[in-house]
Structure 1
């Protein structure tokens, strides 16, 4: 990728530099040629003016000779010819008397304006003396083109130097740009490859490269973290399930072994014990299925009336409470519906009531109250049972977190998942005078948008 970016940018730079530098160089070269010819032609006109005084007006030749001397000092060659082509005066340099110069003078004397030729590194310029149609003579000047060629060569050298510098700078910038873009992509590819090999802690670098690549790396890291948590969570579930099922399975096997060899009078007792272990296994499996469903569910919020759900669950659990001699009460002072998944609040209250009724002794009390707080509805399930130690409350929402739990140890984990996935919060507090208080803060319906 780096090579492709560099080659593409270099090709583009070369094309742009060539498109700009070559026309510029040609334009400067043409302008230098025109300026050089104009200056030579102007010098020739000066000599032609003084020669006209000598040939046409029969004035002394002093002015003409002075101009020829100045031209000679400047390094040019000049010659003055009469109308019949005879040489009148010339500089010591013989270039203006060469055959090409005489041909140019003869053509000028015919009344035409020939194109000044360039021969042997010299530029020839001719001007008529007197009138253009019937000249009294002609002046030919030969000027060396070496200074012109030197200036043109220097100009092209500067243009080439600028072009090469631009291409080199473009190459340097393109290499750095390509590496700036490619390096984080390379590290991201390496991280993805290592993650695919099972290195779950692998992460991509997110502090270099373009913003788009940084966002891609951050998204990859989020995905990798979720994948790591998911796999570790599955491993933890498998370990927890294996640990929790080992004990009832061992007890069940022991009961069945004893049942096979026991006396007939003890068989009913052993069979009852085996059935209790089977029931315990069934509760564990049901709890694990409930946890799996809760973790895989993404609820669609609907408006839920807390007071109606509380009253419904109180009615459903009242027979169980009366059977155990427990007072089950409720009170509601809520302002509006909450945003929860359909059926989630019922499941949450069922788990909390089941735990509370199992923990509270005969004659105890379980109360559900709901009140409106800032932006939420607070539901409290209060009991006066034995409560939980601070250590137990700290791990209560983990699967099998409380080793002293009477049930499967999964009820509060299910409740925690159902509440947090709906955007609420849950906390465990100590009831004044003894017992446990579960505090649920549920988001109000108008504070949530249906996805």
Structure 2
């Protein structure tokens, strides 16, 4: 954020500097050339008047000395020609004396009493020069022509120096703006970074470094104060929930156990016609006990911050399948284990056992006699060579299955299918999802090819330290929820 604010300030200032300095530099270069040309033309016209006067008085021999003195004083090359365009003197090329230059454009224009000023490249000098050619005469009579040539190197050096000064000024302004922008950006981003740290701490369950409410702009100060109040209240609520989860197990188990014993003690004294009502009451009491245990388990899971560990998925699947095989045999349902065996995944301690137990319990409840429940494990590669593959656990039954809306709602707490029996609590699948998410994975319900239900648990394979950091980040995000 600091970088973006600083870049925005620098970009805006750079645009302003370019909009101001570039036109100024171009205007300065043009004005310097115009001023230099005007001065050269005025000097050439003055020299032409003096040469005309010398020629009228028959002092043509004085022209070379006059041209040489003018050239030394102004740093120019001087050429003087008569009314026919014949060169009388040239301060540089003495071999041009007595040659006729009337065919050259500037000489021809001056002989017609029209001054000529132009910039061209001089092959002999190898640089750009300024040509100023003016007529010398009064009225319509042109007695002579004076051509002065100036090197433009000094002018270009002044223009380049000006551009360098403008660039230095621009860099100095950008440096000053950078310092000011950095200070401004830091004053804005420092409270935001403090809020970010506090949010990360809140996600872990406690805030040890609350954001200061006396730094930064007023809006961020109010935000920091509001965040601190909200975080404090959330911490109190979490502490109260944790206290409830730890105490409710002791406070609720005893009355339920006592109620069950009292109901069972009524059995010898009840009439046979009331036996069915007693059995239903005991069944509802058992369901209530399981619901309380499920709620307490979910509360403890949500309030804990257990770090995932590497677990052998194949070994856990084989162990749970062997235990549940006896219950399945009583209902004439088979349990089949297939797929990969040597697969290690990230999971919180005890999560895989609870996930498989809940899924097998649900599958066994809906499986008709003569069918089988399949536990299949496989490894699915992911995109990118640095990303560990994903292990999938499929628990497939051959029951009636669920519709798409029912599969979507199956993870809601206390929800049960309309045709489900009354023994379930509606907390098994929510607990499975919570355990999977706490392990850095996910769980979905899909339609099985045989018409039943396919519960798919996806967990990251324990293949690198990089994934451990990913799981830790997922754990923090779950704690925040």
TM-score (normalizing by structure 2): 0.45
